[in-house]
A and B are shown apart, each in its own frame.
Chain A
Amino acid sequence: MSAYLITILITIGIYIILALSLNIIVGYAGQISLGHAAFWAIGAYSFAILSVKYSLPFIEASVCAILITTLIGVILGLPSLRVSEDFLAITTIGINFIVQAVFNNINYFGGAMGIGNIPFPQIKGKMFSSAQFMALTYLFVFLTIVISYTFRRSWAGLASFAVKADEIASNVSGIDPKRFKIIAFAIGSALAGLAGILYASFMGFISANDFSFPVSVTILAMVMVGGENTITGPIFGAFLLVLLPEIFRPIHNYRMLLYGLLLVVMMRFQPSGFFGEKGIVWKLIRVKKS
């Protein structure tokens, strides 16, 4: 496989993890988040600092990075207990900008220069090849799918859906909405942290601009275009939105325009996404069957 293809596939894998993790917060628990890149950044930066500055081995650094991201995710998820919908969207945008600014301006985090020389994972002193790294990425993708699926089918998943549908009605049905929002934020940010580890380790160099607000919008777009509250949807969305700019490379100058157009057309004709409940994909399959 060519290096280009492997890079694309790894990028897709990382975005699948991001889209599925955001889907737990947005699709399952109904808490709109426009700052998901912040959690991705926290995972990437904790991993980078632990492995570069404190020379922790890959596994230890990863575990710590996930724990840190989860903890910060829960703390930053606390506003969602007080504000909802539009206000939560604005709050999460704010979180994204603050996190980016902190990484960009504090020297401990490398400042505007970012952090370089982040190590690739190793086995027995031997560095991973790109193909092995891709296998690792898709192992984590598989893990994320399993977690998403298990969560969907658990009581916690059912409770999250109820909170999403109607917070007061869920509350009088014995569900503590705060508890399940926090659980969703914890799982969502832990998985975003995982994506951060893969990204930092794969790129070898990270800077705060990699995790800017437009990235959060892209992740949310993957979830919405594919179909929120499904598992196939965000996976498809990640494929589509990573591949589209690559396919449109010859018309480089217009690709953001096409990208924007796609989102507008989607919102107009497929508001529940390609794989959503009323999505076009299921309609086509049903037509073929009958």
Chain B
Amino acid sequence: MEVNKSKKIIEIQDVVKIFGGLKALDRVSISVEESEIFGIVGPNGAGKTTLFNIISGVLKPTSGKIFFNGKDVSGQPPYKMAQMGIGRTFQVVRPFSFMSVFENIMAAYGVRFYHNITKSFSKWKKEEYVKDVMLILLKTELFEYKERRADTLPLGVQRKLEIARALALNPKVLLLDESFSGLSFSEIDELKKLVFNINNEGVSIVVIEHNMPVVMDLCKTVAVLNYGKKLVQGSPKEVVSNPDVIEAYIGKKQYAQS
């Protein structure tokens, strides 16, 4: 049995993921403490999204282990991860396109019933469930869009919808995959506020983000990935001044030779 000293909500141990001949992740170990906001940064193709796919069960690791709340969950399917309390969003949004915003969130809220065959066949539109979903709609400021078809919404709203859908799982961890990219400044500020609010309710959050000011604001700890390997981990300030990180992003210092 794994003993849990400091409260680690997610612990990734020596995870390797190989696609054909490509090592997308090479013995990556990361641990996320309870109720912190953890950042993952790195150049394109560093393996950040692959890491999320492994934590959320979309991909199985080639080797290595993932612990959630001290329990080994390596190789579990996504819906089991969701039932346990891992919610995620996608870099390229994936709302349930032909369903309304309300139904999108309700579909995830149903995680409480799907494992039970009798409950699966009971009616979903009940006051108590609707009330809960309305609270999520209000919290994520999606209330005005609740009857809109998900695929008719602007990107910023779809991003929020994905967060709302993940929140309906009542998650312990929320994985945000570049939720801030492509948004306007005001949308970024709004979303930042939302992320802090969610975090204040005790939900641990892992963000993949390219926007460094956002990372600096949000995260207590940041890990840098490059070519599938973890370069460094530390506070955002430490990380951005680390020479290895600078090299990964902009290359090595070279002196002209005479």
Contacts and interface: CB of A to CB of B under 8 A. Distances in A.
Interface in A168-200: 168-177, 179, 183
A176 B114 contact: yes
A175 B96 contact: no
B145 interface: no
Contact of B99 (A150, A155, A165, A175): A165
B124 interface: yes
Contacts of B120: 154-156, 159, 183
Interface residues of B, number: 37
Counting chain B CB atoms within 10 Å of each CB, the highest count among A150, A153, A155, A174 belongs to A174
Interface string B19-43: 0000000000000000000000000
A158 interface: yes
Interface string A131-158: 0000000000000000000110111111
A163 B133 CA distance: 20
A159 B108 CA distance: 8
A251 B208 CA distance: 66
Contact of A174 (B95, B108, B122, B123): B108
B56 interface: yes
B165 interface: yes
B78 interface: yes
A173 B165 contact: yes
A161 B111 contact: no
Contacts of A158: 103, 106-107, 110, 124
Contact of B124 (A153, A166, A177, A179): A153
A48 interface: no
Interface string B57-85: 11000000000000000000111011100
Contact of A176 (B77, B98, B106, B165): B77
Q: Is the interface of A mostly helix, strand, loop or mixed?
A: helix
B121 A150 contact: yes
A154 B122 contact: yes
B78 A161 contact: no
A175 B57 CA distance: 13
Contacts of A22: none
A150 B120 CA distance: 11
B227 interface: no
B141 to A, nearest CB: 20
B97 interface: yes
B78 A165 contact: no
Name the residue in B90, B103, B121 with the highest tally of chain A Cβ atoms < 10 Å from its Cβ.
B121
A166 B97 contact: yes
A246 B137 CA distance: 52
B148 interface: no
Given A171-B79, A172-B88, A174-B169, A161 B58 contact: no
B79 A174 contact: yes
Given A159-B107, A165-B97, A172 B124 contact: no
B94 A175 contact: no
B123 A172 contact: no
A175 B58 contact: no
A10 interface: no
B111 A174 contact: yes
A168 B165 CA distance: 14
B97 A153 contact: no
Interface in A230-259: none
B119 interface: yes
A168 B92 CA distance: 12
A179 B122 contact: no
A276 to B, nearest CB: 11
A154 B107 CA distance: 11
A156 B165 contact: no
Interface in A52-104: none
Contacts of A165: 95-99
B196 interface: no
A161 B97 contact: no
A155 B82 contact: no
Contacts of B121: 150-151, 154-156
A18 interface: no
Closest 7 interchain pairs by CB?
A174-B111, A165-B96, A174-B82, A173-B108, A169-B94, A171-B78, A162-B107
Given A154-B123, A159-B107, A165-B96, 14 more contacts: A150-B121, A156-B120, A157-B124, A165-B95, A169-B90, A169-B165, A170-B96, A172-B79, A172-B82, A172-B87, A173-B79, A173-B82, A173-B108, A183-B120
18 contacts: A154-B124, A155-B114, A155-B122, A155-B124, A159-B114, A162-B107, A165-B95, A165-B99, A166-B96, A169-B90, A171-B58, A172-B79, A172-B87, A173-B165, A173-B166, A174-B111, A175-B107, A175-B110
Interface of A: 150-151, 153-159, 161-162, 165-166, 168-177, 179, 183, 277
